Amino acid sequence: MNGKIYGYARVSTREQNEARQIKALLGFGVEQKNIVVEKQSGKDFARPLYQKLIRKLKAEDTLVVTSLDRLGRNYSQILDQWRKITKSIQAAVVVLDMPLLDTRQGKDLTGILIADIVLQLLSYVAQIERENTRKRQREGIFAAQSRGVHFGPQRMELPENFPALADLWHQGGVSSRQAALSLGISYQTFLRRAKEWEPAQ
C-alpha cells in the first residue's frame, strides 16, 4: 500500500504511560508525527483523537495499533471499527501483537479472509471472557453478601444523643431541623435515620 502509515496508542488515565506503545509503533516504522496518543477510558468509545484520526484515514493508508483492544472494548465495537476502516474507508489495519491481523496484503483475498475470520474469533473470545469476568464478579458479590459483607459507603456513626432526639421527634417535640442542628448532622440524614429508628414505647 502506498498511503500514509498512522499509529494509534491509548492508555486509560489510571494506566501506565504510553511509552511502550509508542516504542512499538516507532519500531514498526510509523513516523513520530503520525502517532496519535489518547489518554482516556475506552469504555464509552467517545474518543475525540481516535475519531479525528479515523476521519483523516484514506484508502491505501494503514492504521497500526499495538493490540486489538485499542480499537474497542467489546465484540461489536471492535468489529464495527474494523469494518469501517477496512471496508468503508478501504485502509489497512495492522495489529502488532497479532501478526495474522494484518490487511496490508491489499487485494490478496486470502489474507483479508483470514484476517476477518481471526478477528471475529478473537473478538468473540474477548467478549465471552468479559462476560465471564462480570459473572464471576456478580457471584463473588452475592457470596460476600451472604456472609454479611456490606458493599457501598459506610453508614455514618450517629452521636450518642441521637436516640433521645429521634424519640422526641417521633413524639412531635422537636423538628427535624432542630434535632439535626443539635446533633451536628444534616436534616436529611436525621430524617432518614430517624424514620428507621424504632421509637421507645
A 10 A CB-CB count for 26 gives: 13
Asked if 71 contacts 103 with a C-beta cutoff of 8 angstroms, the reply is no
In contact, 55 and 97? CB cutoff 8 Å = no
Single-letter code of the amino acid located at 172: G
Active-site position among 12, 76, 88, 175: 12
> In this structure, how many other beta carbons lie within 10 angstroms of the beta carbon of residue 22?
17
Which candidate, 27, 90, 96, 92, places its Cα nearest to that of 68? 96
Whether the CB-CB separation of 193 and 158 falls below 8 Å is answered with: yes
Residues 123 and 95: beta-carbon distance below 8 Å: no
Active-site residue, 182 included: no
Kind and range of the H or E run holding 95:
strand 92-95
**Active centre residues (catalytic):** 12
